């Protein structure tokens, strides 16, 4: 296997395609498989390195769905995208296994292998890439007054421990990237502190993925306390500075804008 950092050189863009009725920013848009496939192809043409296909929303307050429902949503999309670079956003071994059979190369697990005890074995067996994300609590309740003594230190410790766990389960370290989980059990201040001090996470020695695209913290800092989403411009601004602080992979909804901005940022930082 090629190490993840070679397969996804800094900066790489991951396009988000949520095949769900209720995702916070594109819910419903891609519920029809044909629309999802068209979105994925467009994002690849715009320069995405990979498309993250998800069949379960993890937005604050969301309810979980069964494996059968998740499969019903994502399989028709994965079948159409079989020869293209795809990641599966799931915590369920059954969904990951089917996606990997259909050609997915990365499993994006927001529970960092805590959701389904069978998932690590599926990833190891397939020789797939894996993203381990920090999430405090569970989506239904995670935004109820999250508190940390030192959010960055706690996230770093968690990711280090989950990385060791994954390696212990037979997944090579070179196949793994880490994600601070922007918006998953964190206040606006926590989210920006994690980006400000991203160097403490890159120090763990694995590529860092960042997903701040359109998240509500970006809307809230514009003065709308009840914002549910943030703008594309705000997303791009945060992504560029996360790149400068060492982030490698950017999970985004607006691919063209991020590819252009990150290409310009790279020309400044690493000509
Ligand atoms: N954010 C979301 C979902 N999956 N995976 C990683 N690794 N990092 C993230 O920040 C991340 C993620 C939430 O965003 P979205 O998929 O747009 O919405 P929803 O969960 O409502 O489907």
Residues 3-15, mean pLDDT to the nearest whole number: 98
Q: What is the pLDDT of residues 15-65, one digit of tens each?
A: 999 999 988 877 788 889 999 999 999 999 999 999 999 999 988 878 789
Q: What percent of the chain lies above the pLDDT cut of 70? A: 100
Asked if 225 is an active-site residue, the reply is no
The tokens describing 143, both together, are 């935004």
216 C-beta closer than 6 A to ligand 1: no
135 C-beta closer than 6 A to ligand 1: no
Nearest CA to ligand 1 atom 2: 58
Q: What is the pLDDT of residues 129-184, one digit of tens each?
A: 999 999 998 888 888 889 999 999 999 999 999 999 999 999 999 999 999 999 99
Polymer length in residues for the chain: 271
Q: What is the pLDDT of residues 237-255, one digit of tens each?
A: 999 999 999 999 999 999 9
Please check the confidence at residue 101 and state whether its pLDDT lies above 90.
yes
Asked if 215 is an active-site residue, the reply is yes
Please check the confidence at residue 127 and state whether its pLDDT lies above 90.
yes
Nearest CA to ligand 1 atom 3: 58
Task: Please give the pLDDT value at position 13.
Answer: 99
Q: Which atom of ligand 1 is nearest to the CA of 108?
A: 7
Task: Please give the pLDDT value at position 24.
Answer: 80
Task: Please give the pLDDT value at position 144.
Answer: 83
Question: Would the CA dihedral through 184, 186, 187, 191 be positive or negative?
Answer: negative
Task: Identify the three-state secondary structure at position 246.
Answer: coil
133 C-beta closer than 6 A to ligand 1: yes
25 C-beta closer than 6 A to ligand 1: yes
Q: Which atom of ligand 1 is nearest to the CA of 182?
A: 10
pTM to 2 decimal places: 0.97
**255-269 helix and 232-244 helix, angle to the nearest 10 degrees:** 30
Q: What is the pLDDT of residues 83-100, one digit of tens each?
A: 999 999 999 999 999 999
Residues 71-77, mean pLDDT to the nearest whole number: 97
Catalytic: which of 59, 92, 162, 251? 251
**87 CA → ligand 1 middle, Å:** 12
How many beta carbons lie within 10 A of that of residue 18, not counting itself? Answer: 29
Q: What is the pLDDT of residues 224-233, one digit of tens each?
A: 999 999 999 9
**230 CA → ligand 1 middle, Å:** 14
């Amino acid at each position: 296997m090629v190490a993840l950092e070679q397969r996804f050189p800094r900066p790489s863009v991951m396009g988000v395609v949520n095949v769900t009725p209720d995702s916070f920013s594109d819910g419903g848009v891609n519920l029809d498989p044909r629309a999802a496939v068209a979105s994925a192809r467009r994002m690849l043409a715009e320069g995405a390195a990979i498309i993250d296909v998800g069949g379960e929303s993890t937005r604050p307050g969301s309810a979980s769905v069964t494996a059968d429902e998740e499969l019903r949503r994502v399989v028709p999309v994965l079948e159409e995208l079989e020869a293209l670079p795809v990641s599966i956003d799931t915590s369920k071994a059954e969904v990951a296994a089917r996606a990997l059979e259909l050609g997915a190369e990365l499993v994006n697990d927001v529970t960092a292998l805590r959701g389904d005890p069978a998932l690590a074995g599926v990833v190891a067996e397939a020789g797939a890439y894996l993203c381990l994300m920090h999430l405090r609590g569970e989506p239904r309740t995670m935004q109820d007054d999250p508190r940390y003594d030192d959010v960055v230190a706690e996230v770093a410790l968690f990711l280090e421990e989950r990385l060791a766990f994954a390696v212990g389960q037979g997944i090579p370290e070179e196949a793994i990237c880490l994600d601070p989980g922007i918006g998953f059990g964190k206040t606006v201040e926590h989210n920006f502190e994690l980006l400000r001090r991203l160097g403490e996470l890159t120090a763990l020695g694995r590529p860092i993925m960042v997903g701040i695209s359109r998240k509500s913290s970006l809307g809230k800092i514009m003065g709308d306390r009840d914002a549910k989403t943030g703008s594309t411009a705000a997303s791009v601004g945060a992504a560029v500075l996360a790149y400068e602080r060492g982030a490698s992979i950017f999970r985004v909804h607006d691919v063209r804008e991020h590819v252009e901005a990150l290409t310009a940022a790279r020309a400044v930082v690493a000509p």
